[in-house]
Copies of this chain bind each other. A is one copy, B any other.
Amino acid sequence: METDSTDHAILSLLQAESRADFTHDEIAERIDVSSSTVNNRIQRLEAEGVLKKFDPVIDYETAGAPHHILFVCTAPIVERKALCKDAIEVPNVVNTRELLTGSQNLHVEAVGMTAEDIEAVTEDLDALGLEINGSESLRTEYSRPFDHFGSEVVDESASE
């Protein structure tokens, strides 16, 4: 899909201000177009599959689930893609990522209320045929907009 600087500015702002109450009007003011143009562009980006969804970011610890673990696993190359999809079905698993490498090619993120929840995840992953190379406690995580878009933003608001 062809995306121009207006699209990039919108995507960047959406990532920078990922609030539920971030309105089209506010985007429109910051990039100096009308709010109907913002609406047009967002709808097109969604239709074309660039803007896929809006994921709620949950602080599991505050919500009462203190265990947050990353498993680094190895899946046989040919089964890797299938196992990535299978692993997301394991209870307490919240994210899986497929890498390109030969070993340690699957990352599985899990959340649990208790240590037993996490222990059960290791058993389930093992039962799927995944070799678990390591498990790490996740501490902090930061996200931010894709810069290539951000650098093109014409932000008219001086007070930032």
A interface residue numbers (CB < 8 A to B): 1-3, 7, 11, 14-15, 18-20, 46, 48-60, 62-65, 70, 81, 84-85, 88, 91-101, 105, 111-113, 117, 134, 136-148
| CB proximity of A137 to chain B, nearest CB, Å | 4
- Residues in B neighbouring A50, C-beta threshold 8 A: 58-59, 62-63
Judge whether A58 and B11 touch: CB under 8 Å. yes
Judge whether B55 and A143 touch: CB under 8 Å. yes
**Among A81, A99, A134, residue most surrounded by chain B Cβ atoms (within 10 Å):** A99
Judge whether B62 and A49 touch: CB under 8 Å. yes
Q: Given A60-B146, A142-B88: A101 and B136 within 8 A (CB)?
A: yes
Q: Please give me the residue from chain B that is nearest to A95 by CB atom.
A: B143
- Residues in B neighbouring A70, C-beta threshold 8 A: 97, 99
In the assembly, what is the distance between CA of A19 and CA of B54, in Å? 6
Judge whether A142 and B101 touch: CB under 8 Å. no
In the assembly, what is the distance between CA of A48 and CA of B101, in Å? 40
In the assembly, what is the distance between CA of A58 and CA of B112, in Å? 27
Q: Given A11-B56, A62-B1: A148 and B117 within 8 A (CB)?
A: yes
Judge whether B51 and A58 touch: CB under 8 Å. yes
Judge whether A101 and B52 touch: CB under 8 Å. no
In the assembly, what is the distance between CA of A145 and CA of B118, in Å? 16
- Residues in B neighbouring A7, C-beta threshold 8 A: 63
